[in-house]
Structure 1
Amino acid sequence: MQRSIIFLGCIFSFIIARNSVDVTQWKGFNLLEKFGKSNKPFLEEDFQLIKELGFNFVRLPIDYRSYVNGDDWYNFNEASLNEIDQAVEWGKKYGIHICINLHRGPGFCINPPAEKLNLWSDDDALQAFCDHWRMFAKRYKGIAPENLTFNLLNEPARARPEQYIKVFSAAIEVIHAIDNKRLIIVDGMDVGKTPYTNFTGLDFVIQSTRGYQPGAISHYRASWVKGSDKMPVPVWPPVPSIPAYFYGPQKVKDGLMGPLELKGNFAAGTVIIYDVNIVSEKSLIIIKADGLEFYRKDFIPKDGKGEWTEVVYMKQYHRFQNVYNKAFSAVLKAAASTLLIENIDGDWMTINSLKLEMPNGVRSEFVTDKTWGQKQITVTIKPDGSLDDIPGFIPEKILDDYIAPWLAIKAQGVNIFVGEWGSYNKTPHDVSLAWMRSWLRRYKENEIGWCLWNFRGPFGILDSERTDVQYEDWHGHKLDRKMLEMLRE
Structure 2
Amino acid sequence: MERRSFIKNTGLLTIGAGIAGTTAFAAELPANKLPNWRGFNLLDFFSPKPSATGRKTTEDHFRWMRDWGFDFVRIPIAYPYYLAFDHNKQITPEEVYKIDEARVEEIEKLVAMAHRYNIHVSLNLHRAPGYCINAGFHEPYNLWKDEEALKAFCYHWSFWAKRFKHVSEKKISFDLLNEPAMREDMNDQHSRITAVPGQVYRKVAQAAATAIRTENPSRLIIADGNNVGTSVIPEIIDLDIAQSCRGYYPGKISHYKAPWANKDPENLPEPKWPGQVGNEYLGREMLEKHYQPWIDLVKKGVGVHCGECGCWNKTPHAVFLAWFGDVLDILQSNKIGFGLWEFSGDFGVLNSRRADVEYEDWYGQKLDRKLLTLLQRTH
TM-score range, shorter chain: 0.7 to 0.9
Q: Aligned AA for 2:81?
A: S
Equivalent residue, structure 2, for 1:128: 152
Equivalent residue, structure 2, for 1:207: 243
Say if 2:181 is the partner of 1:157: yes
Equivalent residue, structure 2, for 1:229: 266
CA contact (8 A) 1:238 1:396 kept: no
Deviations 1:93-145, CA, capped at 9 Å, x for gaps? 00000111000000101111451100011111000000000000001000000
Q: Aligned AA for 1:129?
A: F
Say if 2:336 is the partner of 1:425: no
Which structure 2 segments of 5+ residues have no match? Answer: 20-30, 86-90, 183-195
Supply the distance in 2 between the matched residues of 1:32 and 1:189 (Cα, whole angstroms). Answer: 22
CA contact (8 A) 1:216 1:228 kept: no
Supply the distance in 1 between the matched residues of 2:105 and 2:238 (Cα, whole angstroms). Answer: 34
CA contact (8 A) 1:107 1:115 kept: yes
Equivalent residue, structure 1, for 2:139: 115
Equivalent residue, structure 1, for 2:302: 414
Q: Work out which of the residue numbers 360, 369, 376 in structure 2 matches 1:481.
A: 369
Deviations 1:440-479, CA, capped at 9 Å, x for gaps? 1101111100000000011111011111111111121010
Q: Counterpart of 1:36 in 2: which secondary structure?
A: coil
Q: Work out which of the residue numbers 163, 185, 199 in structure 2 matches 1:139.
A: 163
Equivalent residue, structure 1, for 2:235: 198
Q: Work out which of the residue numbers 410, 415, 435 in structure 1 matches 2:323.
A: 435
Q: CA deviation at 1:227?
A: 2.5
Q: Aligned AA for 1:227?
A: D
Equivalent residue, structure 2, for 1:446: 334
Q: CA deviation at 1:10?
A: 9.3
CA contact (8 A) 2:198 2:235 kept: no
Supply the distance in 1 between the matched residues of 2:157 and 2:342 (Cα, whole angstroms). Answer: 24
CA 21–216 in structure 1, closer or farther in 2 if over 3 Å, else same: closer
Equivalent residue, structure 2, for 1:469: 357
Say if 2:260 is the partner of 1:219: no
Equivalent residue, structure 2, for 1:62: 77
Q: RMSD of the alignment, in Å?
A: 2.0
Using the size of structure 2 for normalisation, the TM-score is 0.83
Equivalent residue, structure 2, for 1:26: 37
Supply the distance in 2 between the matched residues of 1:52 and 1:96 (Cα, whole angstroms). Answer: 11
Using the size of structure 1 for normalisation, the TM-score is 0.65
Supply the distance in 1 between the matched residues of 2:145 and 2:237 (Cα, whole angstroms). Answer: 24
Say if 2:323 is the partner of 1:398: no
CA contact (8 A) 1:8 1:169 kept: no
Equivalent residue, structure 2, for 1:248: none
Q: How does 1:249-268 map to 2 (within 5 A)?
A: none
Which structure 1 segments of 5+ residues have no match? Answer: 12-19, 242-366, 370-392
Equivalent residue, structure 1, for 2:209: 172
- Total equivalences in the alignment: 331
Q: Work out which of the residue numbers 259, 262, 279 in structure 2 matches 1:368.
A: 279
CA contact (8 A) 1:220 1:424 kept: yes
Q: How does 1:74-85 map to 2 (within 5 A)?
A: 74-85=97-108
Q: Which of the pair is proportionally richer in helix? A: 2
Q: Which of the pair is proportionally richer in strand? A: 1
Q: CA deviation at 1:38?
A: 5.2
Supply the distance in 2 between the matched residues of 1:476 and 1:116 (Cα, whole angstroms). Answer: 42
Indicate the percent of aligned positions where both proteins have the same amino acid.
42
Q: Counterpart of 1:457 in 2: which secondary structure?
A: coil
